[in-house]
Amino acid sequence: MKTYVVTGGSGFIGSTLAEELLAEGSKVINIDNFNDYYDTTIKISNTIESCGLSVDSCKLLEESSKKEKLKQLKEKVDSENYILEVVDLRDLEGLERIFSENKVDTVIHLAARAGVRPSIEDPILYQEVNGRGTHNILECCRKYDVKNIVAASSSSVYGNNKIVPFKETDPVDFAISPYAATKKANEVMGHVYHSLYKINMAFLRFFTVYGPRQRPDLAINKFTRLILSGESIPVYGDGSTSRDYTYISDIVDGIIKSIAYVENNKGTYEIFNIGSNSPVSLTEMIETIEKVLGKKAIIERLPMQPGDVDRTYADVTKLKEMTGYNPSLTFEEGIEKFVEWYKGK
């Protein structure tokens, strides 16, 4: 049985990945700090579901403190194949305890302080969590002889790249948000550890991921909620901005294939785009949600926000050729699946 550390394993992508790894018979150690970026109860629900347990059968005391809820959660989900560790990436001592107590085969490092716009308001926090936190993970891998890492980067590193689709060989020296800068810096520091300590490594530049368990602040989730409740949706700009959307099942399949690639190819340091190679405009995204919901949106037009890029567009040729990655769901099919999940939760 392989043992995987999944940082951010209670988040949207992390919990879905953990569920898949458990289904394959692997052991998962989930490191998540349950920060205050969004409602802790959402991550608690993600964690329970990823372990194959019923949320209704694992209700935590409604009036309990956050600390007590997380203590109860750990008691509910910990098993021979799954361990929940509520530890902050900045806590090197706490991370070293985990790595010293477990023989880890591979780290999938997904945890980060999320959000482009909030990073402009508090850039030091983003540097501490995303920069120093990632460096702590690299140090633990070096010290405890973990030779395989798959880590989350971001399409935001491309900034307002004028050439599309975005390729891994494009220059990424012109970030327009602190969040993007931390992701680029992590790729560089990762290469240092690969070069010095022979750690096999792949950084995945995620484009926009959507589907069940998507964060409530992200557009598809937020717009679905507001349209159903009859509230206006905030639309920044004229609707012409576009994003490369990929459904969560395709993304997790790509992560699994990237893990296999890193584990089976010594001396690896790769950067991969992971997306759909099929951008959708903001206007098209809203129209698709309206179509699936059968309800028109009330649109509130607002100016473009600092740090927002005009478009993202992934060239995924490299990931396809090297791992067999092949995203299959169309955007409308994915929205149908998301809405079905949203209405049923």
Catalytic residue positions, numbered:
179
Contacts of 315 (CB under 8 A, 6+ apart): 165, 166, 167, 168, 273, 277
d(CA 245, CA 329): 10
Closest CA to 12 of 264, 195, 250, 216: 216
Beta carbons of 119 and 175 less than 8 angstroms apart: no
Cβ neighbours, 10 Å, residue 20: 17
Beta strands 82-85 and 208-210: pairing type? unpaired
Q: At what angle do helices 331-344 and 219-228 cross, to 10 degrees?
A: 60
d(CA 37, CA 39): 7
Q: How far is CA 13 from the centre of its chain?
A: 5
Rounded CA-CA distance 160/306 in Å is 12
Give Cα separations from 15 to 2, 90, 260 (angstroms).
18, 21, 19
DSSP one-letter code for 146: -
Q: At what angle do helices 219-228 and 282-293 cross, to 10 degrees?
A: 40
Q: Give the H/E segment covering residue 103.
A: none
Main-chain phi, psi angles of 148, to 5 degrees:
-135, 130
Q: What is the DSSP letter of 130?
A: I
DSSP 306: T
**Residue 199, H or E segment:** none
With b for 16 or more beta-carbon neighbours within 10 A and e for fewer, the 38-62 pattern comes to: eebebbbbbbbbbbeeeeeebebee
